Structure 1
């Protein structure tokens, strides 16, 4: 069960992925750094997209629209609508 010992492999072969049986000592830290970097870039693009979002038609009352929570234009429209109706 398990296939036996590791197969002998040529030591002179280089691979950008690390070669056979590669498990660098700092793989967890490298993965965490890349994850934080991807999360940061995604957050920056999300923020940029939310700032530039414009609507010609606003969401109907009572319907679920996720951008209702971050779109400045929709938030201002709903405040005006709420102030006008009361």
Structure 2
């Protein structure tokens, strides 16, 4: 009822993934390290992309636009619009 042992396999086979039935003792630590590395690379690429992003046409005010939160050009444009609106004299 146990299904027998593992399937026999050659002991001399090498593969980058570790071969058959591989489970290194430190797989959890390796996974955590590479997770941090991947997160760091993604964060650096995201930051570089946000700094280099350029728009010819700005999004309409009030409309949902995800890069509005991190695009330097859009943030500066909206601050300038807010400042201009505050400096504009009130017409009554």
**Structure 1 spans left out of the alignment, 5+ residues:** none
RMSD (CA atoms): 1.6
For 1:44, the equivalent position in structure 2 comes to 44
Deviation per residue, 1:37-81 (Å, 9 max, x gap) = 111111111101111111111010111111111111111111111
Q: TM-score, normalised by structure 1?
A: 0.88
For 1:82, the equivalent position in structure 2 comes to 82
Structure 1 segments of 4 or more deviating over 4 A? none
d(CA) in 1 for partners of 2:60, 2:17 = 51
Q: Which structure's CA Rg is the greater one?
A: 2
For 1:14, the equivalent position in structure 2 comes to 14
d(CA) in 2 for partners of 1:28, 1:18 = 15
Q: TM-score, normalised by structure 2?
A: 0.82
Deviation at 1:2?
Answer: 7.0
> How many residues end up aligned between the 2 structures?
86
d(CA) in 2 for partners of 1:19, 1:10 = 10
d(CA) in 2 for partners of 1:33, 1:81 = 44
